[in-house]
Structure formats: C-alpha cells, structure tokens
Copies of this chain bind each other. A is one copy, B any other.
Amino acid sequence: MTELEKYIKTYFGVSNDELSTISAYFKPTTLKKNNYFLKSGRHCDKLGFVQSGIIREYVFVGNKEITKWISTSGYFVVDLSSFVFQQTARWNIQALTDCELYIIDQKDYQQIGKVVTRWTELEKLFIAKCFTILEDRVLTHLSMTAEERYNQLFSFNKELFNQVPLQYLASMLGMTPETLSRLRKKTLG
C-alpha cells in the first residue's frame, strides 16, 4: 500500500473498493530538485500528493519571496483557487529535493466524482479540515510572538530544520532569517 493509499484510507475512511478506484487515478511521477510542479500565473490543472521529498509553496510579494508552506511526505500540493475555480494560480510550487509524487489531472479528478458516490462529500470534508487548520494558523499570528511560533513548529517537527533551508522556514513563520537564527541560538544554548 502506498503512502497515498494509507492516507486516503486513514483520512477518508473509504472502503477497499473505493480506495483502489480512487488511487488508480493517481499516477506516480517524479519531480527533480528545483523543478516546478506549478508556476504562478498558469492554471493549476492537477493535484499532487507528496510520496517523498520536500516541496515549497511560495509567492512573490513585491520583490520578496514569501513561503506559504513546506510540504513533506503525506501532504497534498495544489493551488486550490486555481484548481477549483479555474483562476490563474497564485502559488509557485517547487521541489526543494528530488520528489516522488502521485498526480491526478483535473479531468480524472472529475471522473472520480462519477464513480465514487461519496466523493464530493469527502472533498468537502477534506477542504473543511484544511480550513480549520488555516484558522489555527491565523490564530498563531494573532496571539503568539515570533519565538512562540518558532518553538511550536520546532516541537511539532524538528527534522524540518535539518531538511529545509532555514530562510524558507523563517518566511513561513513570518520572520526574517536573522531572527530565526537568533531564536535557534537562544533555545539551544
């Protein structure tokens, strides 16, 4: 069973039949380091699942790159506004390491809905879950200092800090690389 199948089974609680139907639509692919899954301005016509590797989602604000999220094994990557509403994509989605992905294109994705009865319901639940996670993330910015946000992420996923350039984590946490560097020093020493 692939990571993708485990994920779908655990998260969506589908039957084995449904599971194999759904996962059959996802095609294994590789994405080489520094290559793009998606570039902003294009249309996002596919959904990816990270089997292995690390992927960064970022956007230019002015001349600055803002990293919105780092996806590791077990995360989906997509520009939802583009995938669902056919708008131009806002996010750049780029591999930080060589990656194994499972990819489904929009046409096949819509096909699932015709084959798996509960699919739209499962989609809804999944997006709702993502919404509540984002609500929490907003709350961290309303209620926590940079140091507290760093500590929270560090205790949640220590390995990330060995695998991902720290400047990207700093951006994702809403602070400068210098500030992150000093917070690391502070909590280690």
Select one of B68, B127, B138, B171 contacting A68, CB under 8 A.
Answer: B138
- Tell me the nearest residue of chain B to A123, going by C-beta: B124
Q: Report the Cα distance A125→B120, complex, angstroms.
A: 10
| Contact between A61 and B139, CB atoms less than 8 A apart | yes
Report whether B138 and A134 are in contact in the complex, using a CB–CB cutoff of 8 Å: yes
Q: Which one of B128, B141, B143, B172 contacts A64 once the chains associate, using CB atoms below 8 Å?
A: B143
Given the complex, which residues of B lie within 8 Å of A138, measured CB to CB? 68, 134, 137-138, 141
| A8 contacts partner chain B, Cβ-Cβ < 8 Å | no
CB distance from A71 to the nearest CB of B (A): 14
**In contact, A142 and B174 (Cβ under 8 angstroms):** yes
A-side interface size class: 20 to 34
A159 lies within 8 A of chain B by Cβ:
no
Contact partners of A80 in chain B: CB under 8 A: 128, 131-132, 135
Q: Point out which of A125, A131, A141 has the most chain B C-beta atoms below 10 A from its C-beta.
A: A131
Q: Please report A residues at the B interface, Cβ cutoff 8 Å.
A: 59, 61, 64, 66-68, 80-81, 84-85, 120-121, 123-125, 127-132, 134-135, 137-139, 141-143, 171-172, 174
Which A-B residue pairs are the 8 nearest by beta carbons? A141-B141, A134-B134, A124-B124, A81-B132, A61-B143, A120-B120, A142-B174, A84-B128
